[in-house]
Amino acid sequence: MFLGDAMSFRTAAKVDGNQTMLVRQIRKLGYSVKIVSQIKKFCDIVVGKNGMNWLFEIKDPAQPESKRCLTKMEKEFHDEWRGQVDVIETIDDFLKIVGG
């Protein structure tokens, strides 16, 4: 990464003046909102197609059950998120969720 790239990335993290107000209003309407710059771990992948988005945590079915549990941070996110977020292990899990 070039120093210029790092500086551009930092500039991109600047918060818009109306963000706090909009986030507060959206939450009052019953939606969950996560400010991306403040999220340490919310899911492994975000998938999009035809205007739809899905959040997925991926777990490895080759691992024992004890290794496939959600971490504390993952569980907290899943518990408080009011939108879609799912755990998948296989492409079949994925297709069942996205309707493919």
Q: What is the pLDDT, as a whole number, of residue 12? A: 54
pLDDT tens digits, one per residue of 50-68: 888 999 999 999 999 999 9
- Residue 67, Cα to own-chain centre: how many angstroms? 21
Tokens of 60: 């490895």
Q: What is the pLDDT, as a whole number, of residue 36? A: 72
Name the more confident of 23 and 96: 96
Characterize 15-31 residue by residue with b for buried, 16 or more Cβ atoms within 10 angstroms of its Cβ, and e for exposed: eeeeeeeeeeeeeeeee
Percent of the chain's residues with pLDDT above 70: 85
d(CA 7, CA 1): 10
Q: What is the pLDDT, as a whole number, of residue 33? A: 80
pLDDT tens digits, one per residue of 19-47: 889 889 988 998 888 777 767 778 888 99
- Residue 76, Cα to own-chain centre: how many angstroms? 12
| Cα–Cα distance list, 62 to 19, 67, 85, 92 (Å) | 42, 10, 22, 15
